[in-house]
Every structure is written in structure tokens, then in C-alpha cells.
Amino acid sequence: MKKKQIKNKKELLQILKKVPYEDEDHKKRIICSLIGHSNICDICFGYRSCGRCGETLGDNLCSIDPGRENSVIIGHNCKICRANYKKCSWKDKYLVPNPFSKKIKKEG
């Protein structure tokens, strides 16, 4: 059986109304399971993680980082990240901070 593709934010919100979640972090993990991880990512010590839910997506330590060439790194303001951001869809941007904002609060 083929998984139904969620076409827009409205469809996603209708599905989320029916799904119980514990808190905002749990909600973000559910969203990533429904529409996929965001291409807007965070990097810490060589590990790249989803900007929405925080799950590790790859690392640069052993050059095992599928999808790195399409990602936007939060806090970067380089040409590659700007070009990749233009390719991002609503699925990448939903509940993810603006990666180019000066007011992004880093944890740690």
C-alpha cells in the first residue's frame, strides 16, 4: 500500500488535529515522520541534524552525510545555503527557524 503524500500545510494541520502529542518537541517529531525531515539543518561537532526535530541526519566525521549538498545550515549566510534555501518547500520551512536570522538562539 502506497503512503499518501501530504500536499500542503492545510492537509498536515488536519491530520495533526487527530494525532495526540505530548509537547511541541513530540509534535515536531510527528511532523517529520509525516512529511520528512527539513533540509534546513543545524551542525554541531560535525553532526548534521534536522532543524525541526533535532534528529541526526548525517555526519562529516566519516564523510557519511547524504543530503548535505541540498541542505541549508542554520546560522550560515553563504551563497550555497542561500541558493539551497530558494529550493526549499513549505515542508522544509514549517516550524523551522529562519536560518539567516540574527536572533537565532543556539543551545549549549
What pLDDT is attached to residue 98?
93
Q: What is the distance between the alpha carbons of residues 92 and 56, in angstroms, rounded to a whole number?
A: 16
pTM of the predicted model, to two decimals? Answer: 0.84
pLDDT over threshold 60, residue 100 = yes
pLDDT in tens, 20-63: 999 999 999 999 999 999 999 999 888 899 999 999 998 877 76
pLDDT over threshold 80, residue 14 = yes
Q: What is the distance between the alpha carbons of residues 78 and 83, in angstroms, rounded to a whole number?
A: 9
